[in-house]
Amino acid sequence: MKLSKLSRTILVSSLGLVLATLLTSCDIVTVDYLFVANSAGTSGSTSGQIQTFDVDSESGAIRNGAPQVSSGGNNPVGIAITSDYANLYVINQGSSNLVHFSLADSGALTEKDSVTTSPNPTSIAVNSAGTFLYVLSGPNPAVLTAYPLSGGTIGSVASQEVLSVPGNAGDTVAPTAVTVLANNGAVYVTAYDQSAYNPGGVTTSIANPGWIFGFAVGTGGALTPAAGSPWKAGIKPVALAADPTNRFVYVTDFASNQLIGYTIQSGSVLSFLLNGPFAAGSEPTAIEVDPRGKYIYVSNGLSNTVTAFTISLSTGTPSATINATGSQVNTTDTDPVSVVVDAALGRFVYTANYLGNSVSGFRLNADTGALTPTQATPYPAGLKPSVVATVPHGNHAIETVAP
């Protein structure tokens, strides 16, 4: 049979596509699963959705993985994953609930159980022992709630603490973020006083606007305020993270474009790093310390960038990292609101871009902390992605480097 020129062209193109597909499926080795919470999915659903992507071990590029699932509510804003990577938890701000999913080896999520939270949950964290889950909610009221976990299942409330600004008990407190130390011994929370900081509105208080609260964790999950807590934390602290050695805590101040550092003293007490605060990008929204405890990554919502810092291991002082182009600027898509370092090798960094409806990816230089864009970044996501998280694929050892 003799084929026309057009027919031969179509045949060659079709064979090329088939060959490329086969090569792609053979060559790509998944190193992590990347989970993205969206206010709605790509299928047009109005409920919150969780997308799963596969991360290529060589390039850091991501592709669609296991099918997306409902977040179990509306407007998911936080994800927490147990240290054994068997359980994933999501808080839905619009429906004020906490949903538990089991996590299969394939990256597939299966909803298991859920509980109703205090109104307007904003942040979530799970301890490394997998025994307690912490949910921050508010305002009206602003509360930190501890839930016990048994085999991943969420139990009844174990402890709850109301957040209040010292000397201004009647002020409205807006909680923003929660983190738990790697040793499970303390929990820290950021919040700001809406009565003292209300851009475009009326203020009724002269209190300091930004605060970080510290709590020691006791028997049965009991939360006890640390001595001297809360401590001042700029104007509008919106995110925080602790280093893996339990020595330092870092907070982003959205209003002053800064990173604030603290040293953790005995009894979970915090003291300012003497030479801080440190300049970030415009409106820093999220923060991540890499698994080595050597680098910090801050997403900046208004400047559409990620700022990389190197941590002085002796003092905790962060210093801005210069990338291969000689710049401190690492550009993302529009409005990055969440940032994560991949859990498997600590070799890639990703941001969820709320207004870009996308995920941006970077390769992390383990020797310097500098970032370079991954192949084909940014990657399409669902509608208004608010948070990004990763788990290792499990096909090789996880990178752990003591600082």
Contact 233, 212 (CB under 8 A): yes
Residue 97 lies in a domain: no
133 lies in some domain: yes
H or E element, residue 218? none
DSSP for 281-305, written as a single string: SSSEEEEEE-TTSSEEEEEETTTTE
Mean local confidence (pLDDT), 174-198: 97
Query: Tell me: the pLDDT tens digits for 30-59?
Result: 889 999 999 876 555 668 999 999 999 999
| pLDDT for res 24 | 43
Report yes or no on 5 lying in a domain.
Answer: no
Average pLDDT over residues 166-185: 96
pLDDT of residue 384: 96
C-alpha atoms less than 13 angstroms from C-alpha of 149 in its C-beta half-sphere: 29
Residue 7 above 90 pLDDT?
A: no
Mean pLDDT of the chain: 90
Q: For residue 47, what pLDDT is reported? A: 86
Q: Which domain holds residue 271?
A: 105-337+344-376
Report pLDDT for 301. 98
Structure tokens at 116: 């109703």
Predicted local confidence at residue 30, as pLDDT? 86
Amino acid identity of 164?
S
- Residue 153 belongs to some domain of the structure: yes
- Say if residues 142 and 217 touch (Cβ distance below 8 Å): no
Residue 183 has pLDDT above 60, yes or no: yes
Percentage of the chain lying above the pLDDT 70 cut? 89
Does residue 49 lie within any of the structural domains?
A: no
Q: Please determine, for residue 396, whether its predicted confidence score (pLDDT) is greater than 70.
A: no
Higher pLDDT, 102 or 10: 102
pLDDT score for 41: 62
Kindly report the CATH number assigned to the domain that includes residue 306.
2.130.10.10
Q: Quickly count helices (H) and strands (E) in the chain.
A: 1, 34
pLDDT class of 326 with cuts at 50, 70, 90? confident
Is there a domain that residue 354 lies in?
yes
Q: What is the H or E stretch that residue 104 is in? A: none
- In single-letter form, the type of residue at position 144 comes to L
DSSP letter (8 states) at residue 267: G
Cβ–Cβ contacts within 10 Å for residue 221, how many?
20
Does residue 285 form part of some domain? yes
Q: Which residues contact 132 (CB under 8 A, 6 or more apart)?
A: 126, 146, 147, 148, 149, 158, 180, 184, 217, 221
Total number of domains constituting the chain: 1
Nearest C-alpha neighbor of 257 from the set 236, 277, 235, 281: 281
Contact predicate 374/362, CB 8 Å: yes
How large is the average pLDDT for residues 150-164?
Answer: 97
Burial of residue 322, with CB atoms counted within 10 A of its CB: 0-12 exposed, 13-18 middle, 19 or more buried: middle
pLDDT in tens, 50-88: 999 999 999 999 999 999 999 999 999 999 999 999 999
This prediction has a pTM of 0.90
289, part of any domain: yes
Report whether 137 contacts 122 (CB < 8 A): yes
Residue pLDDT, tens place only, 306-321: 999 999 999 999 999 9
Q: What's the pLDDT at 329?
A: 87
Quick one: pLDDT band at residue 327, thresholds 50, 70, 90?
Answer: confident
Q: What is the pLDDT of residues 248-285, one digit of tens each?
A: 999 999 999 999 999 999 999 999 998 899 999 999 99
Given a cut of 50, is residue 9 above it in pLDDT? no
